[in-house]
Structure 1
Amino acid sequence: MPLDTTSTYSTTLLRQDGRRWNELRKLSASISTQPTADGSSLVTLGNTSVVCTITGPREGRGQGDRSNAIVETEINVAPFAQLDRRRVGRTDKRVQELQTTISQAFQSHLFTHLYPRSSILISLTVLSLDGGLLSTCLNAASIALVDAGVPMPSILAAITSGTIIPTDNTLSRPEPILDLNNAEEVELPFMNLATVRGGTGSEDQISVLLMETRVQMSEVNSPLEIMLRIGLDGCAQVRTTLEEVVRKHGRGVMQARR
């Protein structure tokens, strides 16, 4: 049964796990976790943990695009990743949707024209799952591609945002929340949002926007608008953390070469 977030939040202004509306779960990341891979990373967001390895860019036979590299994605969900220990195969519809979304996101984000007739394989393994799967996979793939040396304009940072819709006069207006866990995703409308850093003096640009539920759009300060605003702020927070991880790793590499 989903948690009754609506009634409890109106009383305490705290979510079921004790976070306020704009608080992220604990985010930790590391790169070069797999020495034999071209690039690799481990990203943990709350209780969701994803390992990513990059293969390529490598020139491949039968590559149809002679001008750009092709980005492909594989997702494997470990049987122990979920409480029900349900085995999720590659033919699962949800897995296929995630693979397509991630491939399309990085196909347009990376400088693929520098690697004609080549392919880049993003392999993601989900070790634990408690909400925010797509955003965690995007973040893990982004810094793993940095580790692999694949050029891109900036780190692609992702997060989920949702809204608590007033019911029975418990809230006067829709309340936004950031970085939903699994129980909140079951109960509340939410979206996956990923952004890339804009140019000098310009705002961040939305690269991925995936709505998981239906929301109203006609009214002023609609739930969709509210989720977008808090999601943009959340992506900026995530990007700051990921960029610091990359800088720290770079400093370590430079010190090791001295």
Structure 2
Amino acid sequence: MDNRETLLHELQLIEEWEQDQKDLWFWEKLGRLPFMLLDKVTPKFLQEKAGQAVDELVSYVETGGKYMADEQAVFKRIAAVTHHPVASLDEVRALPITLMKQSALDLRKSRQNFATAQGAVAGLGGVFTLAIDIPFLLGMSLKTIQDVGMCYGYDPLEKSERVFIIKCLQFTSSDIVGKKAILEELSSMHLPERNRQMFSQLQGWREVLLMQTENFGWKKLFQLVPVAGILFGAYLNRKTIDEVAETALMLYGKRRIMERLER
């Protein structure tokens, strides 16, 4: 198990990351603009398909479910780091924080590569793959947060984790004021009484997910540029998943560290 010095060192790294979070970069600010242009160039049947995909994600977040989570795949990845088989989240919770972190870092790299390839393929198809790629990226973001959470021993089937997932998504697209508010809100989530209070925040999931879709859409309009769309798609998908994975890694890591320090 971790000694106090190791936990404090890892906590310091996370707090330095929190301090480094800056205002939105240029494309995120563009994402705040109306989403009318993409609506105009996207065929109606593709808009409907994208909307259905978002509805499925909203349903997952509101009611739970496990269709996006693959425990065994995550356990296999963790076992590759620990060199010992892992069969349950209870076993994951007993691991040193450094092994949890390494497992999450490996997962982050794998998802980056997958998102890069997917984005390049989507860039080939122009508008016909763009409307499908947006909900795909949203789903991949949720799955990445879930799986990083499992690397730290958290169960995505628990209602509190669905709250945490949406907070991670909100964090990646918030300005500096929003990020500070979310960090403050999550700073006490490891406390049972605070955890219960946050259940009430499950309302409004649809609005947040649709906002995320809108932000993705504006950035991904650059994929419509011939040839260059492949590069834009690969870069934007990779960057999006990297930011989501980094946020989940830091915030889940901080929760686990705080829980151990307060034992």
TM-score under structure 2 length normalisation: 0.30
TM-score under structure 1 length normalisation: 0.31
Higher strand residue share: 1
